[in-house]
Every structure is written in structure tokens, then in C-alpha cells.
Structure 1
């Protein structure tokens, strides 16, 4: 009984092979033809000088040389050259604190290249003199009389102004605070150290921070603040 069952299964398998053989042969022939390039015969002919590079069956040879590949490496867009850095004024000696500060700020990665500037402040015309006025009422202890004791023009507040512009878009990411730390470190470690006001976390206001260093002031600002308060037409 077992031998008869095995014989029937062997006969069924032989009939299945006979039925599937033509279909399998046709499928293999179709795949071989579809994956063969059109110029294969020309490339393998003995009269051809050089064999062209094989292409997949889904690539049109006429479009290969004309249509750029979307995966080709893009050429870098040329960037605008950086502005040349303005030199220090001739009146500033190499041992001046501004010279050391200028060297520290020039190497800072937070500043826009070519925007560091050291110049004299714009001279401001003096107004009319205050009229003399007699004290009125009873003078309080420790009080002063307005308009008295000022008999000469004291000039401007600072002799030099340092303008440092941070890179656009970094003013709200701590760039101004970082430049403030560079300024304070350079001036406090000078010989002799300059007296600076205590550092305040609320120093930055509207993308603009100012440090009073006695004879000069340092303005650290954003591009928007510089265009608003220090435009180029004022020749800062």
C-alpha cells in the first residue's frame, strides 16, 4: 500500500515538471532579453574601436548626455567677499588698551568680518550757555544749584569709539554676551587694568550693548541696530 502511494506521488511530480518546464524556459528567456542593452551587439562586434559603457535597460541612451543627473554634485555658490578690516588710527599706539582689544575682537568668531571699527566720535556742536540764575528758596543740605559751576566746555565724553557688529541672526543666541566677556577680559587683564562697571545681565537692550571704559566706549550691536543708530551716512 505504501509503495503504491509513493508511486502515485512520483508520477504526479513528473507530470508537474513537464507542465512547468516550458513556462520557466520562456520566463528566463524574457528576462535575459530585457536586461541586455541595445548596443550590446555593437559593443561586442570585432570591428568596433571602443566599447561604450553599459547602461541599464530603463535608461534612454539619447538622454544620458543631455539631461543632468539630479544626484550630481552641485557647484558651490560664490559668496560675497568679506569687507576689508579698517586699520587702527595712527594716534593709537601699540601699547594702548584699544590695540589689545582690537586684536582680541579681530579673532572672535562671533563678529561679522570687516565690521570692527575704531574711530573718533562725531563732534557735537555745543548749545547756548546756561543763563546765570540765583538760588531760589532754601538750599537743602547736599543739594546743588543748576547752571552754576560750569564755566568752560569740557568737550565730548569719550575720545574713541569702538563698534563691533555681531553676525546676523546670532544677536539672540548669546553672541553679544560672548563678545562682552571678551571685552571685559581684555580690559581687566591689561597693564594697568581699566576700571569697568560691574557686569550686568541686563546690559543688552534691543540688540545693543555699550561698555564704558573711561576714555573710550565699546558698542556691541546687531546689524539692525547698527543700521538704525550708526548708519554709514554719518561716517562712523
Structure 2
């Protein structure tokens, strides 16, 4: 009795295994073709050697990429051409502190390439003199004189100005503060050291920081501040 049950069980197991072996697998032919694809030399690579196969066995060669990756889309965008760096004015000697500062700033990774500029201040026309007014009040205040406060030197307060624009989007991430540290370290290392104002953490205001060095000033600003206050062509 037990022997007959065991025999029937073995027959059912053999029949099940034979059905499983004869059932076709949908991806078996595709994987076999991808594993035995001909190489460039004309010979067929073996299915056991994954190093000679052009694609792994688990990659479907018939599945096309529907959407490109974000990196591919970014690489396909046209890049803006880099502006050439403006040379120093001929009036600035090689041993001038501005020349040394210019050499340090042009290698800074925080500045936008080609935006470092050294130029003379734009002269601003002086308005009409103050009108004559009589003193007022018990203390006789408010009196003015013709021409009072008008200077004959219309060139401005500084002889040169240095404009350095940080990369767009980095003005609020410490780029301006990093450039300020480069400026202070460079100007304090000249002989003799230049008089610099005290270093303040609140120096940056609205994406714009200025360092007054005496006969020249350094403006470190963002792209928005430069387009607003230091345009390439000023009509006013």
C-alpha cells in the first residue's frame, strides 16, 4: 500500500517537472540573444563571460530610454561665452597695490570670469550753487553763501575704483565675505600696509560691499547690484 502511494507520488513529481521544463520562458530567448551577440571581431561571446558581453544580462537591449537624465538636459543647454578679462589701465604701475590686488582677484573662484574691472570714477556734474537764504530763528541758523560747498575738483573722491562681481547665486552664501578676506589680506601685506577700515560683519548690504582704501575703493557686489549701480553704459 505504501509502496503504491510512493510510486504515484514520484510519477506526479516527474510529470510536473517535465511540464516546467517544456514551458517556454518569455525572456529566455531575449537574454540568450543578448548574451551571445557577435562581437566586433566576428566571433560570438559565451553566455558565461559577462566581461565580453556589450551589455549585462539584466539590461533589456530593446528598451529605449524615454526621458533623458537631468544631467544630459543640463549639458545640452547652450553655455554663455566667457567674457575676456579687461587689462589694467596703463597709468597703473606694476608695483602699485591695485596691480597686486588685481593679480590675486583674477584667480579667485568666487568671482564671475571676466567681470573684474579697474577704471577711473565716472565724473558727475555738479548742480547749481545753493541759493542765498537769510538766517532764521533766534540762533540765526540756515544761512547759506553763494558757491558754498562746491569743490573745484570734479573727479570724485577716489582716483581708481575696482569692481569685482561674484558669481550669480553666491552673494548670499559667503562669496562676498570670502572676497573681502582676500582683499584685506592682500592690502595688509603690501609694504607699507594700507590703512583699511575695521572689518565689520555687517559690511555687506543688499549684495554690495565697499572697502575705502584712500585714493581708491573696491566694490564687491552681486550681478543684480552691478547692473543697477555700475552699468557698462550710464546715461545719467
TM-score when normalising by structure 2:
0.73
Structure showing greater Rg: 1
**In the alignment, is the contact (CA less than 8 A) between 2:164 and 2:221 conserved in 1?**
yes
Judged with a 3 Å threshold, the aligned counterparts in structure 2 of structure 1 residues 171 and 15 are, in CA distance, closer, same or farther, namely same
Alignment coverage as a number of residue pairs: 214
For residue 233 of structure 2, give the secondary structure of its aligned residue in structure 1.
helix
Q: 1:232 to 1:34 in 2, by over 3 A?
A: closer
Q: For 1:32-111, list aligned pairs within 5 A.
A: 35-37=28-30, 67=64, 74=72, 76-77=75-76, 78-111=78-111
Mark the CA change 1:219 to 1:20 in structure 2 (over 3 Å): closer, same or farther: same
Q: Distance in 1 between matches of 2:164 and 2:202?
A: 19
Instruction: Give the secondary structure class of the aligned counterpart of 2:182.
Output: helix
Displacement after TM superposition at 1:130 (Å): 5.1
RMSD across aligned positions (CA): 3.9
1:169 Cα deviation after fit: 0.9
- Alpha-carbon shift at residue 128 of structure 1 (Å): 3.2
- TM-score normalised to the size of structure 1? 0.73
Q: Shift of residue 135 of structure 1?
A: 8.4
CA distance in 2, matches of 1:28, 1:212: 87
Give the direction of change, closer, same or farther, for the CA distance of 1:71–1:25 in structure 2 (3 Å limit). farther
Task: Using the TM superposition, give the Cα deviation of residue 36 of structure 1 relative to its aligned residue in structure 2, in angstroms.
Answer: 2.8
- Where does the alignment leave 5 or more consecutive residues of structure 1 unmatched? 1-6, 44-48, 140-144
TM-superposed deviation, 1:192 = 1.5
Say which structure, 1 or 2, has more relative contact order (CA 8 Å, 6+ apart): 1
1:143-198 deviation line (CA, Å, top 9, x unaligned): xx975986851331001110000111111111111111111111111111111111
